[in-house]
A and B are shown apart, each in its own frame.
Chain A
Amino acid sequence: MSLTLLEGNEIIAWAAYEAGCRFFAGYPITPATTIYNTMLRLLPPEGGIVLQGEDEIASLGYCLGASMAGWKAMTATSGPGISLYSENISFAIGSEIPVVIVDVQRLGPSTGAATKGADGDVQFMRWGNSGGLPVIVLAPADIADCFPITMHAFNLAEQYRCPVFIASNKEIGLTSESVNFAALERVPVVNRRLAPKGEPFVPFRPAPDSDVPNFLPFGEETLVRQTSSTHGENGYITNDPAAITAVNERLQRKLTANVDLFSFCREEQVTGAQTLIVTYGVTSRAARLACRELNLKGRKVSLLVLKTLFPVPENTIRRAAAGMKKVVVVEMNQGQYAFEVDRILKDCKVEFTGGMNGKLISPSQIMEAVID
């Protein structure tokens, strides 16, 4: 066995590189900065570009320009930076620009505590855009998990032409862990589908078999139009309610109707269990330990670790909760995702345990919530 001590942040950078990312722009912020540091070591010698933006708005702006030039782009920040990204996130959603955004969450609200962890931004990532259209949010459960999750994030951004968030946490990003780097899970790389040559290019017309338009980059023979304004298929401003409805419903549908295809999770189903723990991110580590101890004590408990948070993988959650009497949602905030689970599950009691004070949720807190 060969082991290396790596931070979650470093693994995200390496996975981005392997996924084909060659453009990174970011503004330094604890606890996300080591992603930028690592990208700066990785990309420039390989013909890639890393920029240190004058602020977060610029950083995402650079990425959107690069993405429309046909490059895979990523930025990384924490909660305060997501606030500044917001307007460009809306742009990337509405104008279908692939981009990966890493949020190494820290304790909020506001500037909060730079070196303390939390999962307080999960609904912010989902809803921090004007128009409220969906985004994809993936959450790695531990340091090694950062590799496949980052590769999936790029693949989904390319496939669905949308911003994809990686909901990391200081407790993953800045924790070093022994990993077998060469054996980390890799997934096949997906690239955005290019419009076929010889046919007229309509920039926002979905491909015949899809809800996603084919892509062409700036700078090649065919002229490409991109706009943040409300547009029809041709990329020009439109006031036609039918055309606007068609685009906005498609933007919703292209993600929500396909979430079953990318509902990443880890399930530990225990026969006879009537309680299910639902969690995500670093809290899944404590939950796994709590489950094991409870099951050893004879209290049967199943575990669902969600790695796709948004769109909400409703079928996955319903399937895992089938026959359960009680579902405990555990998260490092004051009950943001518990709200989603409660919304979906009508036939059982949904309870929340967690908190947001810079400390990890402990296995004992989880066990108490299960036994209560």
Chain B
Amino acid sequence: MTSLLNRSRPPVFCPGCGHEIVVRALDKAFQNMGLEGNEICLVSDIGCSGLFDTFFNTHAFHGLHGRVLTYATGIKLCRPELHVVATMGDGGLGIGGAHLLSACRRNVNLTLLVLNNFNFGMTGGQCSATTPSQAEVASGFLNRLDRPLELHPIAAAAGVPYIATVSGYQKDLDKVVEEAINFDGFAIVEILGICPGRYTKRNKLTPVTIEADLNRKGLNNGPVAANARAEYGKAYRELADQQERAKPPKAVKTVLTPPATGRQDVIILGSAGQRVITAGELLGIAAMSAGLHVTQKNDYDITVLRGPSIAELILAPGEIDYPEISRPSVILALAAEGVARRQNAFASADERTLVVQASNVEIPETKAKVQVVDFKALELKAQDWAVAALAVLAKMKTVIDTTMLETALSHRFKGKVLEGVKAVVDTAMTHDA
């Protein structure tokens, strides 16, 4: 097979740099596999390993420091037929740590070559995540305080199904790389090498010491049996195919006439768990069934299951300009939390406003007409009060009527849920307004 090396752009590494050996091993691996340049995408990021993509006649993507796996993942998922090979240094390993862990957990069929030469070569030999604590580097004493990161066990713990940590000087490097590329899943090859320009000026590191160190560690190279599983892209497509297609948003037909003319501003003040937002939606659907324009804004705390829950709706015969309520037409006061959050709504209410007040909820002084409802006496649970309050409104023919509410219920719910909500509405209708 022919070499995929770019003859017009030969490697430009410092004399004696371990990276150049990896370039040739990678080219040999491609040749062993009989690959054409357009069957491969080389993805690199920043640092000396980031020069790799220029040395090959393949598809090539060179991006930001530490982010190589994010680009490679996007490319591979959209072009599963491509062999996507990513390169990074020990710098990229450190700054892109979150992406590395995610890639291990995800298992997209990518090959990652980590060219670990134990320091930042390009910026002057500062310590990286893998610099030994006793090394002399351009970061002063700082590396003495940090423990070097061991990629092999970390990647295995994060779920990588294939990892090999090898010396850049071993004879079968091309075979190791080839096996990793052929592996159907995320495969990492960590290649230990020498940075003559920076690191070995002050530190002893030779092919012999690298090999001795690897022998001492006795790492298990190759597939990680405990992490064997389906490749992400294939699994993704399988699960995606089982998902139901989204239907276009369901529309409400305008068939009814609203009981009131003019704009109606409704505020539902409740607490988490009272289905306030759903009640707001039902009110909106009911209004749309009578041809009204609707805006709905909700307010609740970022933590759920406690605190206020508020829905604010504007229902209007024409287009709504400013989607903010200044004078409420109706306030449904269903819980102390909601009332406390919107004290000012009661102050801005006037004699035209209707307040539906749950009998156990205190409200501030107001000029509004107040309709007290004892939901407990009706044996309604607090979670149903918001819907029940809509039934009270419908019975009073305020904002909505019963036909509009029933239309909304049938539009929004079906089956047993619909029956349950209808029962709530029927019970609330027995209240004497």
Contact = CB atoms under 8 A, between A and B. Distances in A.
Contact of A6 (B70, B244, B249): B249
B67 A58 contact: yes
A218 B41 contact: yes
B376 interface: no
Contacts of A73: 74
Interface residues of A, number: 76
A51 B103 CA distance: 12
A190 interface: no
A57 interface: yes
Nearest to A288: B321
Nearest to A69: B78
Nearest to A17: B246
A49 B284 contact: no
B62 A226 contact: yes
Contacts of A289: 321-322
Contacts of B297: 171, 174-176
B321 A178 contact: no
Given A223-B38, A228-B62, A289-B322, A174 B249 contact: no
Interface in B81-118: 81-82, 98-99, 101-102
B324 interface: yes
Given A70-B78, A175-B296, A229 B41 contact: no
Interface stretch (A60-68, A155-163, A326-334): A60-68
A176 B284 CA distance: 9
Contacts of B81: 219
B74 A23 contact: yes
Interface string A1-33: 111111000100010000000010100001000
A181 B190 CA distance: 53
A286 B62 contact: no
Interface string A277-321: 000001001101100100000000000000000000000000000
A14 to B, nearest CB: 8
Contacts of A204: none
Contacts of A340: none
A25 B74 contact: yes
Given A65-B70, A181-B249, A220 B38 contact: yes
B221 to A, nearest CB: 26
B302 A2 contact: no
A87 B64 contact: yes
Given A61-B63, A71-B78, A177 B70 contact: no
Contacts of A223: 37-38, 57-60
A370 B322 CA distance: 18
Contacts of A273: none
A177 B295 contact: yes
Contacts of B323: 171, 175, 177, 282, 285, 360
A114 interface: yes
A91 B322 contact: no
A269 interface: no
A322 interface: no
A64 B322 contact: no
Given A5-B284, A114-B302, A181-B251, A229 B294 contact: no
A174 B298 contact: yes
Contacts of A362: 322, 324
A68 B61 contact: yes
B363 interface: no
Given A5-B284, A65-B70, A176-B284, A181 B62 contact: no
Nearest to A52: B102
Interface centre among A30, A68, A224, A282, by most chain B C-beta atoms within 10 angstroms, is A68
B41 A236 contact: no
Interface centre among A49, A178, A220, by most chain B C-beta atoms within 10 angstroms, is A178
Given A3-B288, A4-B252, A175-B296, A65 B322 contact: no
Contacts of A242: none
A177 B320 contact: yes
A60 B99 CA distance: 12
A171 B297 CA distance: 8
Contacts of B67: 57-58, 61, 88
Given A61-B63, A178-B284, A45 B296 contact: no
Nearest to A226: B61
Interface in A59-91: 60-71, 73, 87-88, 91
A4 B59 CA distance: 46
Given A45-B244, A182-B251, A218 B71 contact: no
Contacts of A54: 98-99, 101-102
A238 to B, nearest CB: 12
A4 B249 contact: yes
Contact of B322 (A221, A237, A286): A286
B321 A65 contact: no
Contacts of A222: 38
B140 interface: no
19 contacts: A2-B251, A5-B294, A57-B67, A58-B98, A61-B64, A61-B74, A62-B73, A62-B74, A65-B72, A65-B78, A171-B297, A175-B296, A177-B296, A178-B284, A219-B79, A225-B53, A227-B63, A228-B62, A363-B322
Interface of B: 9, 37-38, 41, 43, 53-54, 57-64, 67, 70-79, 81-82, 98-99, 101-102, 236, 239-241, 243-246, 248-254, 281, 284-285, 287-288, 291-299, 302, 320-324
Given A44-B240, A176-B295, 7 more contacts: A45-B243, A64-B63, A65-B61, A219-B41, A219-B78, A227-B53, A285-B322
Interface of A: 1-6, 10, 14, 23, 25, 30, 41-42, 44-47, 49, 51, 53-55, 57-58, 60-71, 73, 87-88, 91, 114-115, 171, 174-178, 180-182, 217-229, 235-237, 282, 285-286, 288-289, 292, 360, 362-363
Top-4 shortest CB links A-B: A65-B74, A61-B70, A2-B251, A69-B78
